[in-house]
Structure formats: C-alpha cells, structure tokens
Amino acid sequence: MVDLSLLLWAAIPPLLLLGYYYFRVPFAPPLLKLLMFFIIGAISGLLALRLEWVFEIVANSFVDWHQIERWLPGIALRQLVEIGPIEEGCKLTAVVVPTYYLQHRYRLLPSSVFLFTIAVALGFTAEENWIYLFHDTASILARSIGTPVHAMFSAPWGYALGIYISSHTRLNRDKKFIFRAWLNSVICHALVNVLSSAARYSIPVSFLTYSLFPFLLWMFWRLEQLLRKVQGKPVIILISDRTRQRRYWQRGLVLFALVLGGNAIFGLFLLVRKISPLSPSKLFDTYILWFIFSRFLLNLFFGVLAWGIYRYLRHSARRRYF
C-alpha cells in the first residue's frame, strides 16, 4: 500500500517549484497542460528505472558492473554510459512526443516548450523522490534541496528544443544543436552524481565534494539565463570589460562568488543534517545552540559576501553597458 505522506513529500516540492516558474513566465501554457507533462515526467522516471535495471542485467553478463563502483572512475563510467544517457533520454522523449502532437494544434512559443521541459523534469524528480523515500535511502530534507536539479540538467536541451520547434525554418544545424545540448546535459548529470559520490572516499578525493554546490549554483544560474532568453529578455551580464586583464579579474570574481555561495549553501545543508537526528530538547543545550548559531553566521557571512560580489559585477556591467 502506498504511504500517502511519503507521496506528498515526494510530489509537493516539485509541484511548488513548477508553480513558481508557471507564474514567472508570461503567456505560459495552461496549468493543466503543465500538470500533464508533470505526470508524463513521473512515468518517464519509472521507465528510466526499468531501463537502468535491464542495462545492468545485460552489462553484468559481460563484466561485474557493480564492482566498478568501488572506484571513482568506475562511478564516472557508469554515470556517462548508463545513468546520464538513459535518464536524459527518457526526459527528452517525454517532452518530444506530446509536444509533437501539440505543435500541430497550437503555435508553441520557446518559453512554452521550455516550461514543458521543466514540468517533465520535476515530474521525474517527484518519482525519484518517492523511490528514495520509500526505500529510506535519503532524507526528506536532502530530496527537497535537490528538487530543481533535474530541471537544471535538462535546461540546455529544453532551450534548444524550444528554439527548434518555434522556428519557421527548421534547419539541420538546429537538430545538431539539440543533440549537442542533450550531450551537455548528460555530461553535467554525470558530473554532479560523481561529485556527490566523492564524499564516500578518503582524502583527497573527498575534497571534490566541495565543488558540488558551486557547480549546482552555476547550473541554476544557467537555467535562469536560458529562461530569460526564451522569453526574449536580455541575459544578465557579469563579465563586460573588453580589456583582457579586467576580463580575467571579473571571471575570477565570478568563480570566487560561486565557490563562496555554493559552499555556504553546502554548509547550511550539512548543519541541518547534523542537528536533524537530535531531539527538540537537545537543541536548547548551550553547546548545541552555540554550535548552530556560530555555523549559521559563518555560512551566512560567506553567502552575503558572494551576493555582494554578484551585485558589484552587475553594477559594473550596467555602468559600462550604458
């Protein structure tokens, strides 16, 4: 019997994020259509799970597929050959098939196709959340924090597909652009999973984990930039100076802001994960309160510093642009 509470915890965060993007996009498709794509995305998640199971049965007939996960390069190989292509392929199919039907009845905007991609990715996330929560292999907090990740993976090919479908002249190079964007999504998907797996290994490999959240922050930034582009809005420029020395300086600041901001989020995530097993009465102990307060302030400081760098770069770019 399905646990209704687990189902709600799995579905509500993705649905809330879908509503957030729905209200942000002018001329968005009807909400019922987005919910249809959300459900199709959840079905594509079940299909991906089945295909991965079949793939591993076939792969194990040739090599010990599970043994390769003892080493980080083996995890990277599995992510690039199995997980990334199957999951991104299922999501792409879940967008293309119903969109092919809808484009014969409606004039689809690039922003509509991009929203369809987000809806499918979030439906895929809801299905994945339920699997993890049902088998008790991840916490509700961890799955909630990871809610936008699949949408961030699929954003490049969602953008490319939206441009292709809404174009009056569909050229062969546009199809190649979709494939390159899909391949980019597969590589980013694999890289995130590899970085998140690095924590189980000893030093210095485990230090790779500290690049995970900065990379996720960059992918979220890319998602927001692509969303602006499909709406016809100008992208936000942070690197604007034409002199080489100034460009290197601005790129360094962008990288520094990503490292600070990403690891500030990572630090808060680790803080919540450490205190979540404690009983409510323990949280009021002097030592525990000081630990929570000091770690929160430290990560807040890094987060505010990253935001300050971002605002500085935006202000500098605007001043030079105008």
pLDDT digits (tens, 9 = 90+) for 237-255: 888 766 777 778 888 999 9
Name 206's Cβ contacts closer than 8 Å, sequence gap at least 6: 198, 199, 200
pLDDT of residue 51: 95
170: pLDDT confidence band, cut at 50, 70 and 90?
low
pLDDT of residue 74: 87
Q: Is the pLDDT of residue 2 over 60?
A: no
pLDDT of residue 148: 94
The sign of the dihedral angle between the CA atoms of 198, 200, 206, 212 is positive
C-alpha–C-alpha distance, residues 177 and 235, integer Å: 20
Phi-psi region of 149 (alpha: psi -120 to 50; beta: other; left: phi over 0): alpha
Percent of the chain whose pLDDT exceeds 90: 56
Residue 273 or residue 46, greater confidence: 46
126: pLDDT confidence band, cut at 50, 70 and 90?
very high
pLDDT of residue 224: 95
Q: Encode pLDDT of 171-204 as tens digits.
A: 556 778 899 999 999 999 999 999 998 888 788 8
Count other C-beta atoms under 10 Å from residue 60's C-beta. Answer: 12
Q: Is the pLDDT of residue 27 over 80?
A: yes
